[in-house]
Amino acid sequence: MIEQTGLARRVRAKIQEIQAALTTTPPPPGQALSLMAGPGGSILYYFYMAKMQDSGELYDHAFALLEQALDTMEHTAADSLTYCDGIVGFGVLFQLLATEGLIDAEADDVLLALDELIVAYTVAQLQAGNLDFLHGAIGNGFYLLSRLGTPATDHCLYGLISCLRDTAVRDAAGIRWHDQASGLNNFAAGAVDLGLAHGLSSKLVFLARCIGAGVRVEDCTRLLTGGIHYLLRQAGAGGPGNIYPSIIPAAGSARRTSRLAWCYGDLCVCTALLFAGKALANADWVRQAYHLARGAAERTTPERTAISDAGFCHGTAGVAHIFNRLYLESRHDDFRKARDYWLEQTLEHTSWPAPPAEPSPAPPGSAPSPGSFLLEGLMGTSLVLQSCLATTPEALAWDAVFLLNFS
């Protein structure tokens, strides 16, 4: 909860401004089911804004969008299967809404139709060596884990863990997985991506979640322990102002500086340490996570953060949200101050044209502005602003899709 009444008032005003703007650019019904950049994210946004505001009008809009998405899924072949942009992310979203009691539908009625597609896609990604979170097998793993107890998906989940075990690079430095060069990155094959969006941190969160669910605990514990050992050994290589780098380059490649963000940098490592520390009851890892986060809270200049926008992925909103999570869990005042600072920056950087006096829906078939989406646009920013008015971590359950539900 924001203690500064002036800041809280401006946050509420910005939320209303964003909601008014979004009513003029609804996503077209036939668009893909993207969680991070499409209708899936819109569904998440409206359900959780409705929950936090206790708004029947927003609930009605959320259910209308969900009905459109289910109709699209029933009558249109999937054009993407990834966590970020396709069926996997929509499945994770639907399971979350059902678990939270926000929808009455039996999740199995929808998810059984997705299981076969997602299992086949996961096998293909494992064969291709794609262990990305947003665009590969690790993202699928979170869906499979949410379906624990379903025989077909359980077999695939165990296969994913076996693949992580068999492809891990092990030496005195610890355990990690080499990333492939692809269209998703521009670094050489053999590099180790440390980030949450695509790299080691998301793999470690996945392993911690498996341990918490009692899945292949011995294998996952060994991999998680070795992965954290490797991660901690990279401290000090992050460049100006950062402790951890974004990427450990392949031999002969130049090192890169890091940033302060959800996707890369010290806050990713903090997230991985918190998940791992709680899964294995390792108080030292939790202590190191908070120590790292307190250091990150002191960095505010562009030179030390590389922040230049208000979005969730690599902007001010994502950073504000992580510090809000940390504050609600620990009540450390350093995190409250950091949250409020990045909220101020989010208010300053978030802009949207004023809605017309008589708003009208976007023309049929027109695409919404890319600035409205969850990962990098106004919906993610608005969820962060609304969440900062909450008093308990339980109100923030939506951030499970960003792997931040470490409370």
C-alpha 161: how far from chain center: 21
DSSP state of 248: E
Strand 174-176 and strand 169-171: the pairing is antiparallel
| Binding-site residue positions | 263, 313-314
DSSP state of 370: G
* Full DSSP string of 119-172: HHHHHHHHHTT---SSSSHHHHHHHHHHTTT-HHHHHHHHHHHHHHHHH-EEET
Task: Report the C-alpha gap between 345 and 14 in whole angstroms.
Answer: 13
Question: Tokens at residue 176, please?
Answer: 């990690």
Element (H, E) at 309: none
Question: Tokens at residue 276, please?
Answer: 């791992």
3-state secondary structure of 259: coil
The residues pairing with 169 across neighbouring beta strands, listed in sequence order, are 176
Task: Report the C-alpha gap between 20 and 361 in whole angstroms.
Answer: 12
3-state secondary structure of 193: strand
Question: Tokens at residue 353, please?
Answer: 């044209």
CA angle 83, 103, 16 (to 5 degrees): 80
List Cβ neighbours of 218 (8 Å cut-off, separation of 6 or more). Answer: none
| Binding-site residue positions for Zn(2+) | 263, 313-314
CB 154 within 8 A of CB 214: no
Q: Counting beta carbons within 10 angstroms of the beta carbon of residue 358, is it exposed (0 to 12), middle (13 to 18) or buried (19 or more)?
A: exposed
284: left (phi over 0), alpha (psi -120 to 50) or beta: alpha
CA angle 214, 218, 223 (to 5 degrees): 105
Look at residues 96, 34, 70 and name the one whose alpha carbon lies nearest to residue 376. Answer: 34
C-alpha 159: how far from chain center: 24
